[in-house]
Amino acid sequence: MKEINVEIYINWDNNGATVKFSDEEADKLLALWKEAQDTILHDVEEEDYWEKFDPWLQEKAPDLYEKIMKAFYEDLAERLCCDTCDGDGFVSFSRDMDGIYFDDSNEVFINQIFPPSE
C-alpha cells in the first residue's frame, strides 16, 4: 500500500486528501500524472492544472478518480460534522476551508498529484 497526497480544489479553495492505493494503483496513478505533466499540463500554470487534469484523469482512469474523490469526501464529511451552518446551507470554516455547501453545488476538482517522497 502507498499513500499519495492529492491537491483538490473545492469552490476554488485549495484542499486535499491523502489516499491509500495498492502498489499497482499507485504506480498507475503516478504514471498517469507523469504523462499529464509531459502532455496536457506542459504549458499550464500549476494553479490551473485542474482545468485540464481533472477531466483527463476522469476519462483515463475513472476507477482511480472515484477512489480519490471518495477519500476526499469521507475526510470532508468527518471535518464537517463538527461545525454548523446558517439557514441557507452555507458553512464557512476559518480553520482550513471557506465556502462549503451541504449539497451538490460545490465545485470540486483534482488539481494535482504529489508523488510520495522516496
pLDDT band with cut points at 50, 70 and 90 for residue 100: low
Q: Which residues are paired to 55 by β-bridges?
A: none
**CA dist 82 to 76, 88, 93, 95, Å?**
11, 18, 11, 12
pLDDT for 96 beyond 70? no
DSSP single-letter state for residue 46: G
How many Cβ atoms from other residues are within 10 Å of residue 105's Cβ?
Answer: 9
* Cell digits of residue 70: 471518495
Measured in degrees and rounded to the nearest 5, phi and psi for residue 66 equal: -65, -35
What pLDDT was estimated at residue 94? 42
What pLDDT was estimated at residue 107? 82
What pLDDT was estimated at residue 25? 97
